[in-house]
Amino acid sequence: MTINPVLIKSSFAIVEPHGADVAGYFYQHLFEHNPGVRSLFAEHLSDQQDRLWAALGALVTHLEDTETLVGILQDLGRRHAAYGALPEHFPAVGASLLATLAHFAGEEAWTPEVEESWTAVYGVVSGTMSEALTAAKNSAS
């Protein structure tokens, strides 16, 4: 599977103007399909929604700058150790993220190539974050 940065950026540009609705849709999807993870998050999600959204924008911006991207993901992964996130949560988050992007991109823009590229991006994101999270947990114990 390959990452096509042009497709990632062009599809993200369609989704981005939907702003807070995107994060709202994502959390609704995640909690509906994985009620068990709701208790890890604060009761009121509004700050959290903005931060997740900003993080996604930063990842897309630095997509071709591997060193910066990996640094951001490692920091994010280490912080997630304190949130109670586990490597096994990542597939559920990835599924909700892709469903959200597909919903807001719309049928015409969400081509098999776009989906494949986002799947590959999420593979890098979840792999790098999970490794840093596991390392942080191991060093703390």
Residue 80 engages ligand HEM in binding (rule: CB under 6 A): yes
Question: Residues near 65 by Cβ (< 8 Å), separated by ≥ 6?
Answer: none
Residue 58 engages ligand HEM in binding (rule: CB under 6 A): no
The interface with ligand HEM within residues 97-126 (CB under 6 A) comprises 125
Closer of 105 and 128 to ligand HEM (Cβ): 128
Q: Which of 9, 18, 79, 103 binds ligand HEM (CB under 6 A)?
A: 79
With CB under 6 A as the rule, give the number of residues binding ligand HEM.
19
Residue 85 engages ligand HEM in binding (rule: CB under 6 A): yes
CB of 129 to ligand HEM, least distance (A): 6
Cα gap 93→74, rounded to integer Å: 17
Stretch that binds ligand HEM, among 3-11, 18-26, 36-44, 98-106 (CB under 6 A): 36-44
In total, the chain counts a number of residues equal to: 141
Question: Residues near 72 by Cβ (< 8 Å), separated by ≥ 6?
Answer: 55, 58, 59, 62
Residue 66 engages ligand HEM in binding (rule: CB under 6 A): no
CB of 108 to ligand HEM, least distance (A): 25
Question: Residues near 133 by Cβ (< 8 Å), separated by ≥ 6?
Answer: 77, 78, 80, 81, 85, 86, 87
CA–CA distance from 73 to each of 36, 122, 138 (Å)? 24, 11, 18
> What is the number of other CB atoms lying within 10 angstroms of the CB of residue 28?
12
* C-alpha of 105 from chain center: 16
Site residues for ligand HEM per CB under 6 A: 37, 40-42, 48, 51-52, 55-56, 76, 79-80, 83, 85, 89-90, 93, 125, 129
